[in-house]
Amino acid sequence: MADVALARRAARPARPWMLAAGLVLPAAALSLLALAQALPPALWLDAVLTPDAGDLRQLLVHYALLPRMAASILCGAALALAGAIFQQVLRNPLASPTTLGVSAGAKLALALATLWAPGLFVLGREWIALGGGALAIGAVFALSWRKGLSPLAVVLAGLVLGLYCGAVSAALILFKEHYLTGLFIWGSGALSQQGWETVATLALQLAAAAALVALMIRPLTLLSLEDAGAQSLGVSLHGTRLAALSLAVALTAFVVSGVGVIGFIGLVAPALARLAGARRLRDQLVWAPVMGAGLLWLTDQLVQRTGGLSGGILPTGAVTALFGSPLLLWLLPRLRVAAPPPRTEAATAVRRDHAAPLLAGLGGLLLIGLAVSLAVGRTPEGGWAIATSDLAGLLPWRAPRAFAALCAGAMLALAGGILQRLTRNPMASPEVLGVGAGAAFGLIVALFTVTAAGREIQLASACAGAFGVLFIIVILGRRTGFTPERVLLAGIALGALFDALVGALTASGDPRGLLLLNWMTGSTYQVDGLQAAWSAACAVVLIALTALCTRWLDLMPLGDAPGQALGLDLGRVRFILLGLAAGLTATATLVVGPLTFVGLMAPHLATRLGLRRALPQMAGAALVGALIMLVADWLGRMIAFPWQMPAGLIATLIGGPALMWLLARR
């Protein structure tokens, strides 16, 4: 019955203008209401054309209110257009303007300039941000150039660069919080304007980019075909991808340099356009910018009428998902997405009889890392020491953190491997399920509602938030047969919804925001023996269950048809694998917080080592993830002694270069 209902919905006439009107008309009404409250309608024309220098109200409308409205419209349209291009070129519905690390590179450049080169700001903040974004995308193109800018290579390189730059920025913020507080607000997308300069520049840039995109519609459409088919029709894959990605990156960089990072619009606006009935690429490139402009415009108007009324500074980009996520969830059952292409095992895969020595080597490295983590430490004077006679007294302090980090890394790596095989999407990772964001929201509730929220209350609240999100995903997934694309988009929508709340509270300047940032970057600070034992027991059970599912994991990347031909009940298999991935993610999140690197990259690192069949890849990913987290936790305790750095940040800082090296050499 569910399939019949979905088919009927899909057969309805396409009316994208209805959804666009549902976003644009309320935004326009709120804008007119704001203008009426700021200035009598009889003076509107004067305020727009020739504002009276002696009338503060006209100056406010001309130089602040109207430019902010125009900025929200232009930024929303630019990001949505960039997102549509990214998703088409990279053949991935999860691609967005933040995929290639442009935003993260711009944010890092501003942080570095603020701390060590403030003289560069004479050039303007925009040029520093543009320079950082340009360096990031240059590194992405360099890493993927030898592979012809293939979608998989570009996605992986962009994700690694983005995570790496983000981790460096987060580390700087933790150590230099007072100097970089303004970066919180800018990094969440603040649309406040003090004139028309930024708006005029964005308008010209968007117009030029839109004209160039219009000239590329045919080759962009053909990119949806397989590479051989597109080349047979005369498409230059390398040149078309480079030109299209450069345009999308430029649009993203223009917005980032002008107003800051606004992350959700570029992902959700193209999806909303498809949901509303824009099936052809030509239609998506028209309606996605309209949806993006309407969504950001409406969000900004609501922000000004709620958060702005209290006098607080609430960045619009931080709360865009509060309004976009429910809309996406409501429309999600109507989404029709093309099935991702089957994945075949490469000829370079390690033979089964050669995989065992490689896994044994990884296991040996893990044991060595565990021994170093337990035995080697810093003295109160700051020196290094190897514990011998006093090791027994130190183990109760060091062992829980080491084992918790090890188990969390293994569980997150397995969750990422399951999701990537289940969805056949290299961008799938534990955080896209939204479980980590739900746990963070539960922690927020505890911190802001309980006067003295102890460790037990924080853990219980995070647990409730994580499993609450899992319950919602299961309810939504049942309606669509647990179709991977819909499940991922539902998880992203829920995660973005909770992340918006977290971002808004972090940008508010509340001192509890720094505690939340510490936890969200992956911290084992407060892990005790009981928690370590609990996480180890859960890890053993969940890893054993994953091993029992390796036949399914071998078949799922081949596509739906081969799996059904071999007798798989796809709905049941997807439900079990999704539940297993969510359980692994939730357990690890409750111990060390919502990490973003290990679950995404450990399966890719295992694959780059040649482990491509399900069982060896899952085993290799678990060992790699455990090793990265173990080493990261130890380094986090050692390198800034007596201060400590979150293990999640260190994991990204040491794992990112390793994967970049593997990407560059193969």
Q: Which of 284-288, 340-344, 460-464 has the lowest mean pLDDT?
A: 340-344
**Does some domain include residue 209?**
yes
Identify whether the C-beta of residue 410 lies closer than 8 Å to the C-beta of residue 535. no
Which is higher by pLDDT, 68 or 475? 68
**Does some domain include residue 516?**
yes
Report residue 1's pLDDT band, with 50, 70 and 90 as the boundaries: very low
Which is higher by pLDDT, 143 or 642? 143
Q: What is the pLDDT of residues 440-499, one digit of tens each?
A: 777 777 777 776 666 677 777 777 887 787 778 777 777 666 676 677 777 777 777 776
Report residue 10's pLDDT band, with 50, 70 and 90 as the boundaries: very low
Residue 114's pLDDT is what? 83
Residue 489's pLDDT is what? 74
Q: Among all chains, which residue has been given the structure tokens 């694309």?
A: 485
Question: Domain end: 334, 363, 383, which one?
Answer: 334
Q: Which of 66-70, 437-441, 602-606 has the lowest mean pLDDT?
A: 437-441
Residue 307 reports pLDDT greater than 80:
no
**Does some domain include residue 387?**
no
Q: What is the mean pLDDT of residues 412-436?
A: 82
Residues 360 and 419 in one domain: yes
CB atoms within 10 A of CB 551: 13
Which is higher by pLDDT, 596 or 301? 301
Query: CATH number of the domain that 214 lies in?
Result: 1.10.3470.10
- Using DSSP's 3-state secondary structure scheme, residue 140 falls into helix
Residue 367 reports pLDDT greater than 90:
yes
Residues 504 and 612 in one domain: yes
Residue 502's pLDDT is what? 65
Residue 655's pLDDT is what? 79
Which is higher by pLDDT, 173 or 517? 173
Residues 117 and 176 in one domain: yes
Residues 473 and 589 in one domain: yes
**Does some domain include residue 6?**
no
**Does some domain include residue 2?**
no
Residue 349's pLDDT is what? 54
Residue 345 reports pLDDT greater than 50:
no
The CA R_g of the chain, rounded to the nearest whole Å, is 25
- Using DSSP's 3-state secondary structure scheme, residue 20 falls into helix
**Does some domain include residue 343?**
no
Helices 484-507 + 391-423 axis angle, to 10: 130
Residues 255 and 364 in one domain: no
Residues 119 and 197 in one domain: yes
Identify whether the C-beta of residue 134 lies closer than 8 Å to the C-beta of residue 253. yes
Chain centroid to CA 448: how far?
25
Residue 539 reports pLDDT greater than 70:
yes
Q: Is the dihedral of CA 94, 96, 100, 104 positive or negative?
A: negative
Residues 329 and 362 in one domain: no
Which is higher by pLDDT, 547 or 396? 547
Structure tokens at 382: 């700051």
| Total tally of structural domains belonging to the chain | 2
Chain centroid to CA 353: how far?
37
Residue 308's pLDDT is what? 47
Residues 68 and 110 in one domain: yes
Q: What is the mean pLDDT of residues 6-21?
A: 64
Q: What is the pLDDT of residues 507-523, one digit of tens each?
A: 555 666 666 666 666 66
Q: Which of 41-45, 159-163, 411-415, 437-441 has the lowest mean pLDDT?
A: 437-441
Residues 482 and 574 in one domain: yes
Chain mean pLDDT for the chain: 80
Cα 417 from Cα 412, distance rounded (Å): 9
Q: Is the dihedral of CA 200, 16, 86, 321 positive or negative?
A: positive
The residues facing 377 across adjacent strands are 385
Residues 562 and 639 in one domain: yes
Structure tokens at 399: 């062992």
pTM of the predicted structure, to 2 decimals:
0.75
Structure tokens at 557: 């990347």
Cα 15 from Cα 17, distance rounded (Å): 5
* Single-letter amino acid code for the residue at 513: G
Residue 9 reports pLDDT greater than 60:
no
H-run or E-run covering 376: strand 376-378
Report for 63-72, 182-191, 557-566, 586-595: range of highest mean pLDDT: 63-72
The residues facing 121 across adjacent strands are none
Report residue 31's pLDDT band, with 50, 70 and 90 as the boundaries: very high
- Using DSSP's 3-state secondary structure scheme, residue 511 falls into coil
Cα 53 from Cα 48, distance rounded (Å): 12
Q: Which of 56-60, 140-144, 448-452, 583-587 has the lowest mean pLDDT?
A: 448-452
Residues 492 and 521 in one domain: yes
Report residue 306's pLDDT band, with 50, 70 and 90 as the boundaries: confident
Q: Residue 642: is the preceding peptide bond cis (ω within 30°)?
A: yes
Range of the domain at 233: 14-334
b or e along 279-309 (b: 16 or more beta carbons within 10 Å of the residue's beta carbon)? Answer: eebebbbbbbbbbbbbbbbbbbbbbbeebbe
Residues 189 and 121 in one domain: yes
**Does some domain include residue 590?**
yes
Task: Quote the DSSP letter at residue 540.
Answer: H
Cα 369 from Cα 362, distance rounded (Å): 10
Q: What is the mean pLDDT of residues 167-176?
A: 76
Residue 473's pLDDT is what? 77
Structure tokens at 373: 């983590």
Q: Which of 185-199, 422-436, 489-503 has the lowest mean pLDDT?
A: 489-503
Q: What is the pLDDT of residues 391-409, one digit of tens each?
A: 777 788 888 989 999 999 9
Q: Which of 68-72, 343-347, 402-406, 585-589 has the lowest mean pLDDT?
A: 343-347
- Using DSSP's 3-state secondary structure scheme, residue 385 falls into strand
